[in-house]
């Protein structure tokens, strides 16, 4: 997803240490982990809801197809004398 090399990663870590100080890094890490966890839970909920909706739609479509097949008139034969 992100192309970050070793030098770039070192620069990012150094910038974080300079901005927040070494004593704030564990707290910052916990906050980021908590945010990531919430995002994953939200993603899981959305995926579950979409799966349920898809199942309901497919069931409704199957019922409609069955009704159409049941209500179809049989083909009439042309009887000539």
Query: What is residue 78's DSSP assignment?
Result: -
Taking the C-alpha atoms of residue 28 and residue 22, their distance in angstroms, rounded to an integer, is: 10
Residue 81 pLDDT: 55
Summarised one tens digit per residue, pLDDT across range 6-22 is 888 889 888 988 888 88
Summarised one tens digit per residue, pLDDT across range 33-75 is 999 999 999 999 999 999 999 999 999 999 998 888 877 776 6
Give me the domain span that covers residue 29.
Answer: 21-56
Kindly give, in sequence order, each residue whose CB lies less than 8 Å from that of residue 4, ignoring residues fewer than 6 positions away: 12
Number of domain units in the chain: 1
Residue 35 pLDDT: 93
Residue 16 pLDDT: 87
In a domain, 27, yes or no: yes
In a domain, 47, yes or no: yes
In a domain, 30, yes or no: yes
How far, CA to CA in Å, does 20 sit from each of 31, 38, 41, 64?
Answer: 13, 23, 28, 61
Taking the C-alpha atoms of residue 51 and residue 54, their distance in angstroms, rounded to an integer, is: 5
Cβ–Cβ < 8 Å for 14, 25:
no
In a domain, 42, yes or no: yes
């Amino acid at each position: 997803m992100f192309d970050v090399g070793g030098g770039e990663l070192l620069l990012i870590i150094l910038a974080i240490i300079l901005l927040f100080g070494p004593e704030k890094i564990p707290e910052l890490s916990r906050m980021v982990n908590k945010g990531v966890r919430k995002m994953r839970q939200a993603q899981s909920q959305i995926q579950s809801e979409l799966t349920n909706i898809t199942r309901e739609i497919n069931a409704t479509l199957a019922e409609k197809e069955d009704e159409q097949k049941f209500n179809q008139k049989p083909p009439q034969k042309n009887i000539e004398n």
